[in-house]
Amino acid sequence: MIRVEHVSKTYRVQKRSAGFAAALTSLFSREYEEIRALNDVSFTIGDGEMIGYMGPNGAGKSSTIKILSGILTPDSGSVTIDGRVPWKNRIEHVKSIGVVFGQRSQLWWDIPVIDSYELLRDIYAIPKAQYSKNLEELTELLALSELLKTPTRQLSLGQRMRCEIAASLLHAPKVLFLDEPTIGLDAVSKIAVREFVTRQNREHGTTVILTTHDMQDISALAKRVILIGRGRILLDGTIDDIRREGANPGGETTDLDQAVANLYRRLDIL
Amino acid sequence: MKTIQKLADAVRLYFHYVSLNVRSAMQYKASLLLMITGQLLVSFSTFFGIHFMFMRFSHVKGYTYEEVLLCFAIVLMQFSLAEMFARGFDTFSGTVRRGEFDRILVRPRSTVLQVLGSRFEITRIGRMAQACLMFAYVVSASPVAWTPLRVTTLAMMLLGGAMLFGALFQVYASLCFFTLDGLEFMNVLTDGGREYGKYPLDIYGKRVMQFSIAVVPYAVVQYYPLQLLLGRSANPWLAFCPLGVLPFAAICQLCWRYGVSRYKSAGS
Tens digits of residue pLDDT in B180-203: 666 777 888 888 888 888 899 999
- Dmax over CA atoms of chain A, in Å, equals 62
Q: What is the ipTM of this complex?
A: 0.90
pLDDT above 80 for B131:
yes
Beta bridge partners of A224: A51
pLDDT (mean) for A190-203: 94
What confidence category does residue A22 fall into, taking pLDDT thresholds of 50, 70 and 90? confident
Taking the Cβ of residue A66 and every Cβ of chain B, the question of whether any pair is shorter than 8 Å is answered with yes
Judging contacts by C-beta atoms under 8 Å, the chain A residues touching residue B17 are: 119
pLDDT above 90 for B173:
yes
Average pLDDT, chain A: 91
Contact status, residue A5 vs residue A42, Cβ threshold 8 Å:
yes
pLDDT above 60 for B268:
no
What confidence category does residue B252 fall into, taking pLDDT thresholds of 50, 70 and 90? very high
Taking the Cβ of residue B33 and every Cβ of chain A, the question of whether any pair is shorter than 8 Å is answered with no
Which three-class secondary structure state does DSSP give residue A32? strand
Nearest to A167 by CA among A118, A204, A110, A203: A118
Map out the domains of chain B as residue ranges. Answer: 37-261
> In this structure, how many other beta carbons lie within 10 angstroms of the beta carbon of residue A165?
24
Beta bridge partners of A233: A228
B206-250 pLDDT, tens digit per residue, is 999 999 999 999 999 999 999 999 989 989 999 999 999 999 999
Query: In the prediction, which pLDDT does A30 show?
Result: 73
CB-CB under 8 Å, A101 with B265: no
pLDDT above 60 for B267:
no
Which domains, and CATH codes, for chain A? 46-96+173-267 (3.40.50.300)
Judging contacts by C-beta atoms under 8 Å, the chain B residues touching residue A108 are: 20, 24
Query: In the prediction, which pLDDT does B258 show?
Result: 93
Hey, of B105, B257, B260, which one would you mutate to test binding to chain A, going by the most A CBs within 10 A of its CB?
B105
Alpha helices (H) along chain B:
2-26, 29-56, 65-85, 87-90, 92-97, 100-105, 111-118, 125-141, 148-179, 187-196, 206-214, 223-229, 245-261
What confidence category does residue A253 fall into, taking pLDDT thresholds of 50, 70 and 90? low
Taking the Cβ of residue B9 and every Cβ of chain A, the question of whether any pair is shorter than 8 Å is answered with yes
Q: What percent of chain B has pLDDT over 90?
A: 59
Between CA A86 and CA A90, with CA A87 as vertex, the angle to 5 degrees is: 70
Query: What is d(CA B162, CA B185) in angstroms, rounded to the nearest whole number?
Result: 20
User: How far apart, in Å, are the Cα atoms of A184 and each of A17, A35, A197, A213, B145?
Assistant: 33, 29, 17, 11, 67
- Kind and range of the H or E element at A10? strand A2-15
Taking the Cβ of residue B27 and every Cβ of chain A, the question of whether any pair is shorter than 8 Å is answered with yes
Q: How many CB pairs under 8 A join A and B?
A: 69
Judging contacts by C-beta atoms under 8 Å, the chain B residues touching residue A118 are: 16
What confidence category does residue B46 fall into, taking pLDDT thresholds of 50, 70 and 90? confident
pLDDT, greater one: B132 or A8: A8
Query: In the prediction, which pLDDT does A58 show?
Result: 82
Q: Letter for the amino acid at A199? A: R
Q: Letter for the amino acid at B68? A: V
Query: What is d(CA B207, CA B212) in angstroms, rounded to the nearest whole number?
Result: 9
Contact status, residue A53 vs residue A61, Cβ threshold 8 Å:
yes
pLDDT above 60 for A7:
yes
Name the burial class of residue B83, with classes exposed (0-12), middle (13-18) and buried (19+) by CB atoms within 10 angstroms of its CB: buried
CB-CB under 8 Å, B100 with A124: no
B60-87 pLDDT, tens digit per residue, is 888 998 899 999 999 999 999 999 999 9
Pairing between strand A31-45 and A175-179? unpaired
Judging contacts by C-beta atoms under 8 Å, the chain A residues touching residue B261 are: 73
Query: What is d(CA A195, CA A203) in angstroms, rounded to the nearest whole number?
Result: 12
Query: In the prediction, which pLDDT does B141 show?
Result: 83
Q: What percent of chain A has pLDDT over 70?
A: 99
Nearest to A256 by CA among A231, A225, A232, A211: A225
